[in-house]
Amino acid sequence: MNEHKNASDQLTFNFDKISSWSYKKITKSVVKQFNLQPIGKLTVGLDEKFQEFKSSDLIIGLEWDTWSGYTINAKNKESEQLLRDIANYINDNYQQNT
């Protein structure tokens, strides 16, 4: 699990060992565990998958790409604690199993 700020100054965690095949399973689990609602539709490209989710006014992105693996980011500053909780959940439940 790597923590950093992305180019848009958003708190970001990436799990570079998680494969694209795990995106759907992990995302479904995170959405259920944290009672998230989708914003828009899942976007799938050749080397990436991504979708935004919300909980009240908290907005996060759940993503995967070939360079970073599974990545989560806080779309607004208020979402950072939720993002940390999600990162710990993924780390505890999926990081070692993928």
In three-state secondary structure terms, 15 is strand
- Tell me how many domains the chain contains: 1
pTM: 0.91
Q: Which domain holds residue 63?
A: 2-97
The CATH number linked to 34 is: 3.30.160
Question: Residue 37's CB: how many other CB atoms inside 10 A?
Answer: 10
Q: pLDDT (tens digit, 9 = 90+) per residue, 27-38?
A: 999 999 999 999
Residue 95: pLDDT above 90? no
Please, what's the b/e burial string for 51-89 (b: 16 or more CB within 10 A of its CB; e: otherwise)? Answer: bbbbeeebbbbbbbeeebbbbbbbbeeebeebbeebbeb
Q: What integer best gives the mean pLDDT of the chain?
A: 93
Q: pLDDT (tens digit, 9 = 90+) per residue, 58-93?
A: 999 999 999 999 999 999 999 999 999 999 999 999
